[in-house]
Amino acid sequence: MNKKSIVIAAILLVVALGVNCFVAAGSKEAKMSDKNLQVVTAPDQKEAMENEQFTIAEYVPEKIDGTNVARKGHCEANGYTDVYPATYANDGTAEGTSYWEGPANQEAILTCDLKESFNIHTIRLAINPAAIWAKRTQTLSISVSDDGENFKEIVPSADYKFDPNTGNEVVIHIDEIKAKYVRLNITKNSGATSGQIGEFEVYSNDK
Amino acid sequence: MSGNKNRVGGRIGFVIGCVLIYFFTVGIILGGIKVPATMAKMKVNAEIKKSKVVLYDGPKSLKDATDADLKFATEEGRDFEIKHCVDTKVLVNGKESYVYDTNVNNTHTWVDSYLPGQERTPITYFDFDGTVEITVEVPKTDINYVTVRPLKYGIKPQINKKKHTVTFTVDTPDSYTVEFNNNVKRAVHIFANEIEENLPDFDSEDVLYIGPGEWNIENIMLEDNQTLYISGGAVVHGIVNANFVKNVKVRGRGIIDGSTFNGWKGRMAKIPLKFDNCTNFSIEGVIALNPNAWVLQSYDSIGGKIKNVKIISSRPNGDGITLQSCNNIQVKNCFVRTWDDSLVVKNYDVNTDGITFDNVQVWTDLAQSMEIGYETNKGNKENSKISNIRFENITVLHNFHKPVLSIHNADNALVKDISYKNIVVEEATVGKGDGTPELMDIGIVNSGNWSTTMDRGQVENVTIDGFKVLYGNDSLPSKIKGYDAEHIIKGVHINNLEIKGKKIKSLEDGEFTVDDKTDDITIK
């Protein structure tokens, strides 16, 4: 082996080492800088929890004197939407799909025939109390009649807020008046294209 | 003698020298072969070092999924709760990303009892910027073959059989799905988001913030101008709805989970994201899993943006994104895996106009991937119309059951100006279970299940430009059928249709059945 060969071997050795060191170094797994890593940690929980922001204070509904005389009456309307006829407005429940929804995009008129005349003092209007029935405002007036044809306005048109946090109900006290028919005229509903009433209750102390 | 002065070790030295030179040369060659790959790896490593990653710990209260939790069962056979996945690990740049086990439905037959059998599959999510290396470890699986979808990225993963790992890099925020050994079961869905920017002002009274953790919030009803932010790491058992409101937003990275609700069975649907009669709503970044029915609904709304929403449904009627009588809605960069139609447009009330689905990944276990209909005038309105619907850059990862592309005009509406552009179907195994074999189905029909009106409608001006099927059934027929002489399909123009590598230049080549209640049907 002459010196020339030794030099060649040495050069080859250096190159081989260099190449393989380069390959070995380059093949190492990359490490991301910790400053570029953000880990969003979870709180200590043993089970799913209520979230304070969405918990609702217990609501105690107002106790209304007398009897709901609309329950045995008969409700009719100037129309209804989809599968929500007027008869659902006094069937004793506002839950589920038991509600009346008036004809879309027009004044909704719901009339309850109490079957006999009563001295009435309070009207309770309710829609489904479930939270999924979000807050809405309905603009409505109330009128009464003895013959079902000639109505007298006893509550002028005003906005009423229905809020699931407060039972989605509105209680309207009126000066006691004798009536056989009670009518709602709903001109606006911020939560639908027409008026919606789950329960239309009319209270009297006559029974 | 002078020649010997320069020689060392004589003949033995010569042999040793030759051997050394041989080995050094081989070393150089072998090392040299790896140099290009090493340089590429170094370049990627440099990118990885610079990358930014946000990981989200899952709720500590979620239970680990046991082997029994992963078995095929109906919702009466086991609990359906979302679980912490422990048989699959996902590392992002070497850091563990929390993996959930969520319900999926790998069956392809409708079940009248509303109780199809289901399994679970792993999902994970994180945010990143730059290039990240993802390693999926499945200790119980012998890995022979791996597919990383969507195929457009050409990802060639490195498999380590000994360690039961697969590793690949990604540089584009998107949804990635890893399938092992040509099997869709236990496919790992990886939602790699971009890093969030322009976060809402959490001090604002119009912003509702839900932090990491597991929360029972049955109903969240949004009011005008509110933003709901669901943080990454949050699992919310409940629904988010908005009704007759404007300018509402849902943002974040968290999960809206319906696994605690019983299946709806045709009665009580708990829709995770329901935005009805809204004006200018926005849903961005969140994940919806385990709904008890369909997933993201908007009805009678005007102006909506649905971006980077990830959806997996597994129970009956689990439609993905269903837009009913809406105007000007954009759906972009979403992932939708469903056990019913994935992307749906219908008329339930007023006319639909201006809907765009852009860059959406779809995986349809049951029914159709892109469906217009069947209900095109359920509200029984005069002059009902569905118009200007665009599907662009849609990647269908799997479509097992019914047509990939379908227009079923089952009422008396006019369906017109519908376009499909750059549609890629990675696997079209249409017709499984009780499905139908068509790839495309455009028809005017009278449906006992879905028609409302007595009259029939028309379909006009449908363009399909760029529709490619990569893999699929040996035969992938399509049909275009009108109803009668007055209710026809007029103007369907198909360009750049390619099925399993074959460019389709005629209706015959494309196995199209076209009846005589049609006019101006072209393909080129």
Listed by start position, the domains of chain A span 66-204
Residue B448 DSSP SS3: coil
B139 to chain A, minimum CA–CA distance in Å? 21
Say whether both B186 and B118 belong to one domain: yes
Contacts of B239 in chain A (CB under 8 A): 132
Say whether both B378 and B436 belong to one domain: yes
Q: Would B392 be classed as within a structural domain? A: yes
Say whether both B14 and B95 belong to one domain: no
Predicted TM-score of the model (pTM): 0.91
The mean per-residue pLDDT over the stretch B460-472 comes to 98
Confidence of residue B6 (pLDDT cuts 50, 70, 90): low
Q: Which of B194, B220, B237 is the last residue of a domain?
A: B194
Contacts of B58 in chain A (CB under 8 A): 42
Judged against a pLDDT cut of 50, whether residue B1 lies above it is answered with no
| Phi-psi group of A89: left, alpha or beta (phi > 0 → left; psi -120 to 50 → alpha; rest → beta) | alpha
Q: Would B262 be classed as within a structural domain? A: no
Q: What is the CATH number of domain A66-204?
A: 2.60.120.260
Judged against a pLDDT cut of 80, whether residue B288 lies above it is answered with yes
Q: Would B222 be classed as within a structural domain? A: no
C-alpha distance from residue A59 to each of A135, A170, B155, B312 (Å): 15, 13, 58, 37
- A&B contacts, CB < 8 Å: 187
pLDDT digits (tens, 9 = 90+) for B323-375: 999 999 999 999 999 999 999 999 999 999 999 999 999 999 999 999 999 99
Q: Would B272 be classed as within a structural domain? A: no
Q: Would B215 be classed as within a structural domain? A: no
Say whether both B397 and B519 belong to one domain: yes
Contacts of A4 in chain B (CB under 8 A): 6
Say whether both B424 and B511 belong to one domain: yes
Q: Would B438 be classed as within a structural domain? A: yes
- CATH number of residue B68's parent domain: 2.60.350.10
Q: Would B335 be classed as within a structural domain? A: no
CB spacing of B217 vs A15 below 8 angstroms: no
Q: Which of B194, B218, B246 is the last residue of a domain?
A: B194
Flag whether residue B48 sits within 8 Å of chain A, measured between CB atoms. Answer: yes
Contacts of A130 in chain B (CB under 8 A): 219
Q: Would B482 be classed as within a structural domain? A: yes
B480 to chain A, minimum CA–CA distance in Å? 33
* Chain B CA closest to residue A33: B49
Contacts of B24 in chain A (CB under 8 A): 9, 12-13, 15-16
| Count of the separate structural domains present in chain B | 3
Say whether both B42 and B143 belong to one domain: no
The phi and psi torsions of A182 (rounded to 5 degrees) equal: -125, 135
Confidence of residue A1 (pLDDT cuts 50, 70, 90): low
Read off the tokens for A13. 């050795």
What is the DSSP code string of B196-211?
A: P-S---TTSTTEEEE-
Say whether both B92 and B177 belong to one domain: yes
Say whether both B442 and B521 belong to one domain: yes
pLDDT digits (tens, 9 = 90+) for A101-115: 999 999 999 999 999
CB spacing of B14 vs A132 below 8 angstroms: no
CB-nearest to B215 from A36, A51, A193 is A51
Flag whether residue A34 sits within 8 Å of chain B, measured between CB atoms. Answer: no
Domain that holds residue B133: 53-194
Say whether both B454 and B480 belong to one domain: yes
Under DSSP, the state recorded for B151 is G
Say whether both B33 and B137 belong to one domain: no
Let me know: does B442 contact B485? Beta carbons within 8 Å. no
Say whether both B24 and B120 belong to one domain: no
Q: Can you tell me the ipTM of this complex?
A: 0.90
Burial class of B84 by CB neighbour count within 10 A (0 to 12, 13 to 18, 19+): middle
